[in-house]
Amino acid sequence: MKELTIQQKKVLQCIKFYIKKTGFPPTRADICRELGFKSPNAAESHLRALEKKGYITIENGASRGINLTENTAEQSQTIPVIGLVAAGSPTLADENIEKHIPYQESLFLSDFDYFLRVKGLSMKDAGIMEDDLVAIKKTSEVRNGDIVVARIDDEVTLKYFQSSGNQIKLIPANDDFEEIYINKETEGFFIEGKSVGLIREN
Amino acid sequence: MKELTIQQKKVLQCIKFYIKKTGFPPTRADICRELGFKSPNAAESHLRALEKKGYITIENGASRGINLTENTAEQSQTIPVIGLVAAGSPTLADENIEKHIPYQESLFLSDFDYFLRVKGLSMKDAGIMEDDLVAIKKTSEVRNGDIVVARIDDEVTLKYFQSSGNQIKLIPANDDFEEIYINKETEGFFIEGKSVGLIREN
DNA sequence: ATTTATACTGTATATATATTCAGTAAAATT
DNA sequence: AATTTTACTGAATATATATACAGTATAAAT
């Protein structure tokens, strides 16, 4: 799809926001009000540009006859899938994002920030298998028994969390793997977040 | 929420369908066209009734100013969760439906009909744990290695599927459970569907 | 160098649309 | 038995809305 200008992006965002807020698309006048234009033709031209570039369709003659293209509608509702690379942290930086998948607000009980693609079988006995997508909420507030994403220097790992005092144990759910003992103040140690759910695509 | 009459349900369905099709709500005239009314006031009265009962809100003066209530909007996008009861089949009958959860069309690669709430640990080594929700597609076309929902008389069970000729093996993913051998033509045996995905709420 | 796209203001207008008023009739509720 | 709700037709109308036309100005593409 053709790139949008900054103004056109603003107009598209305005349409999305208006629909989310009211349930129906804006009129030309509504767009002018939201973005400070003084002529309805300003909105009209932008709409025609968005239509030409394939981001919306317009039903001629119909009031509020704006329809977001499939592609456009989904863009606002995706969540990144991040690969668990042995070296490197799961940040939201573009180079770490595997793909985007549709986002459903109330899919899990807690909200979450990204999906982590699982590599290896260290959490096998917790029912977390290779290639599963674990929903991660970014937080450092974790409790004993939580499944957490922990970073130790450049290593990122998914384990059970267990702490007593300053001592932290990262426990795998697989006898073939070793427990990791670490100190709270250890340099380079960091809790990225915790698991709040899981989805698997067969 | 107050119950709707048959006519009111038709009007509400019409609005939902129109929005799904065009991306924006219908006018009074649109509703008349879709449902065969000859006066715009027929639509108007129904809309006011739907508003009064809390299924929609109407922004006065705005064209197409119909907004589906949160509750209403979600109704069209939910998928049932069905408990795996030892006796009884996972049908879509009301009494078997545990709850409804929001539905995302493209959540898994294949579409699916309902979620099955897992009881027991017979598929533990396949990473399917107690209380997981397995996405089931209703079909009898299954292949060797698929995880299937099989019914034998009143027993419903989730197992690996393996067939050779007329002989069918239902294999658990847990050494504590026994394999089930059965014949294709056995009375009361039936493949309900197969697993196409899984979600877990921590 | 010329054309096209972007980014608007400002005016005008046909028509799309919500909404009111006047009825009729049957069913449900009080 | 009286009132309210449901379920419409039919006509009228104020206004909400899309959209065309006339300009101005700058940036980008050919």
Q: How far apart are CA B190 and CA A66, in angstroms?
A: 48
Contact residues on chain B for A68, CB-CB shorter than 8 A: 23
Q: How far apart are CA B155 and CA B152, in angstroms?
A: 5
Q: How far apart are CA B99 and CA B157, in angstroms?
A: 20
Contact at CB, A200 and B196, closer than 8 angstroms:
no
Chains A, B: CB pairs < 8 Å: 106
The pLDDT of residue A40 is 92
CA of B47 to C1' of C30 (A): 25
Token digits of residue B88 = 């009884």
Q: Hey, what amino acid is at A50?
A: L
- In residues, how long is chain A? 202
A60 and chain B in contact, CB less than 8 A: no
Q: How far apart are CA B83 and CA B89, in angstroms?
A: 9
Q: How far apart are CA A105 and CA B41, in angstroms?
A: 38
User: Does A79 or A49 have the greater pLDDT score?
Assistant: A49
User: Does A24 or A114 have the greater pLDDT score?
Assistant: A24
The pLDDT of residue B81 is 58
Q: How far is CA A24 from CA A13, A32, A139, A166, B57, in A?
A: 14, 16, 36, 54, 11
Q: Hey, what amino acid is at B94?
A: D
Sequential pLDDT tens for chain B (202 residues): 677 888 888 888 889 888 888 889 999 999 998 888 899 999 999 999 999 888 898 988 899 999 988 666 655 444 555 554 433 334 444 444 455 454 454 456 566 767 787 888 889 999 999 888 888 887 888 899 999 988 887 677 899 999 988 899 999 999 999 999 998 888 878 888 889 888 887 7
Query: Which burial class, exposed, middle or buried, applies to A105 when counting CB atoms under 10 A from its CB (0-12, 13-18, 19+)?
Result: exposed
pLDDT in tens, A117-138: 788 888 999 989 988 888 888 7
Q: Please name the helix (run of DSSP H) or strand (run of DSSP E) that holds residue B100, with its range, or none.
A: strand B97-102
Phi, psi of A59 (to 5 degrees): -90, 115
pLDDT in tens, B23-57: 899 999 999 988 888 999 999 999 999 998 888 98
Q: Which domains does chain B have, with CATH numbers?
A: 6-75 (1.10.10.10), 78-199 (2.10.109.10)
CB A161 within 8 A of CB A143: yes
Closest CA to A134 of A143, A122, B109, B103: A122
Cβ of B41 near strand C (distance < 7 A): yes
- How far is C-alpha B79 from the geometric centre of its chain's CA atoms? 3
Closest CA to B75 of B11, B137, B13: B13
Residues 60-79 of A with CB under 7 A from strand D: 60-65
- In residues, how long is chain B? 202
